[in-house]
Amino acid sequence: MFVRAYLRASTDEQDASRARADLDRFASERGLAVAAWYVENESGAKLKRPELFRLLSDAKPGDVLLIEQVDRLSRLNAADWERLKRELRERQVRVVALDLPTSWMMAGKDHDAFTARMFDAINGMMLDMLAAVARKDYEDRRRRQSQGIAKAKANGSYRGRKEDADRNAGIMAMLKRGVPWSQIVASTGASRSTLARLAKRAVTSAAR
């Protein structure tokens, strides 16, 4: 059994690795070591997340997917959450979340078949509940943001999100030098979607 830790933040401005020490400590307290780290800045509301699916591709039956909170894994709608659960089931990956104590048993030693099935059923039910709460929280925040933006636009005070100009200039310089995307992501914390946007900007700028 390998423990594979997944760290996610929604935006480039957030530190996806913030919870790394907590996950390391959790594993260490149980005599385990984190075998691999998967870090990305992508929305939990979308299923297409390269690092999450790299983790699932690497995982073997019985491996643990360790997360800080269930919302790091999913803010998905019901249909996408079912798709992700199916992937987890088919690959026989155990989800362990620091904010879900019923899942902690999954990081322990193997239990007899009856106990294992009980733990799995309880954990599945709790995962479903917390994933639904995370989705509702996401939708509520989006609604409040939309209302705030609409009000700001009506007042003529909306300016949009401020771009990190210094970081993006550095990324564009690395892109021009041919630095691999994986290296840029690792060194800057930027998402691949941001790199794609900046690469397109660099091409447009060069064509002028």
Return d(Cα 84, Cα 76) in angstroms, integer. 9
Residue with tokens 């733990």: 119
End-to-end CA distance of the chain: 54
Question: What are the helix and strand counts (H, E) for the chain?
Answer: 8, 4
Return d(Cα 88, Cα 93) in angstroms, integer. 5
HSE-CB at 104 with a 13 A cutoff on CA atoms is: 13
**Residue 193 annotated in active site:** no
Distance (Å) of CA 73 to CA 17, 108, 132, 188:
14, 21, 12, 22
Catalytic residues: 10
